[in-house]
């Protein structure tokens, strides 16, 4: 019994250390620009600032195009997430409910693009977008992000759909529902943990992307936060404090998002891994 208690204590201590190690960089980025001037430099080793000053955040917001970058990032990430969820749900449904030649090859080949470095995908995509006339647009950037998030979504929801009994759909058909109605009203609610996992993954990948944003978008009005922040660093006289404030404004949406969906995200990942 004593050994069991000691092992639990050791486990909790280890978990706490991992939590501190993982969260501390995020905390430091958020809290540092709140020290204000000259506290940003004078209190650089203090874990908790003596005053909270949002001057650096205001400077970043008012003196640069950061609001435009922020809006573009949410538009691209939101559209990428919505399209990925819808498309991956229907594709995974087709792969699990229909029989056709090359189904396994199609499913496996979808991961090829996901495993390649983003730069190798961005170059041919840029050529395609130029021929279509959608280069340097938020539409093109969203499509590029979907090329990365869609394979993960299909694989995740494919494993979930395999665990859903086919009898549920047959019962819905007997009651007069169409195949689409059965999918949306009967099957889709059972996929919510997986859908949330796909949504969170898609939003984070799109919101924090730098490579595709750098390659596909060039005009100032279409840049997203990561690319815009790098451009601010190179073309303005803003100090490290303002740039860190910008980085904090990138992190905060991610932290808020995870705080609401962590339980469903973990459930989605573990359920898909165990049952798939």
Same domain, 49 and 73: no
Q: Which domain holds residue 155?
A: 65-275
Same domain, 28 and 148: no
Q: Please identify every stretch of the chain with a pLDDT value under 50, giving residue numbers as ranges.
A: 273-276
> How many domains, the chain?
2
Same domain, 44 and 76: no
Query: Interhelix angle for 138-161 vs 66-97, to 10°?
Result: 40
What is the structure's pLDDT at 76? 95
Give, in order, the Cα–Cα distances in Å from 185 to each of 118, 131, 180, 191. Answer: 36, 40, 8, 11
Same domain, 234 and 163: yes
What is the structure's pLDDT at 2? 63
Same domain, 20 and 104: no
What is the structure's pLDDT at 43? 54
What is the structure's pLDDT at 191? 83
What is the structure's pLDDT at 139? 93
What is the structure's pLDDT at 138? 93
Residue 212 lies in a domain: yes
What is the structure's pLDDT at 273? 47
Same domain, 125 and 32: no
What is the structure's pLDDT at 29? 81
Q: Where residue 157 sits, what CATH number does that domain have? A: 1.10.3720.10
What is the structure's pLDDT at 275? 45
pTM of the prediction?
Answer: 0.80
Same domain, 1 and 117: no
Q: Which residues contact 207 (CB under 8 A, 6 or more apart)?
A: 73, 74, 76, 77, 224, 225, 250, 253, 254
Residue 158 lies in a domain: yes
Residue 58 lies in a domain: no
């Amino acid at each position: 019994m004593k050994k069991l208690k000691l092992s639990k204590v050791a486990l909790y201590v280890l978990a706490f250390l991992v939590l501190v190690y993982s969260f501390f960089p995020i905390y430091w980025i958020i809290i540092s620009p709140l020290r204000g001037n000259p506290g940003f430099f004078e209190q650089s080793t203090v874990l908790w600032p003596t005053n909270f000053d949002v001057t650096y955040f205001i400077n970043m917001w008012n003196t640069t195009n950061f609001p435009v970058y922020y809006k573009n990032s949410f538009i691209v990430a939101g559209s990428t997430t919505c399209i990925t969820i819808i498309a991956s749900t229907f594709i995974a449904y087709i792969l699990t409910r229909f029989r056709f030649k090359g189904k396994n090859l199609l499913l496996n080949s979808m991961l090829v693009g996901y495993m390649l470095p983003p730069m190798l995908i961005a170059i041919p995509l840029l050529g395609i977008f130029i021929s279509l006339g959608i280069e340097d647009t938020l539409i093109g950037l969203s499509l590029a992000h979907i090329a990365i998030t869609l394979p993960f979504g299909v694989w995740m929801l494919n494993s979930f759909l395999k665990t859903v009994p086919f009898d549920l759909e047959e019962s819905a058909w007997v009651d007069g529902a169409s195949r689409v109605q059965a999918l949306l009203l009967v099957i889709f609610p059972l996929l919510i943990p997986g859908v949330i996992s796909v949504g969170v993954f898609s939003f984070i990948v799109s919101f924090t992307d730098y490579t595709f944003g750098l390659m596909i978008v060039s005009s100032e009005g279409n840049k997203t936060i990561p690319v815009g922040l790098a451009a601010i660093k190179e073309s303005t006289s803003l100090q490290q404090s303002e740039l860190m404030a910008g980085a904090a404004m990138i992190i905060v949406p991610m932290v808020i998002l995870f705080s609401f969906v962590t339980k469903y995200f973990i459930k989605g990942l573990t359920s898909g891994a165990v049952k798939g």
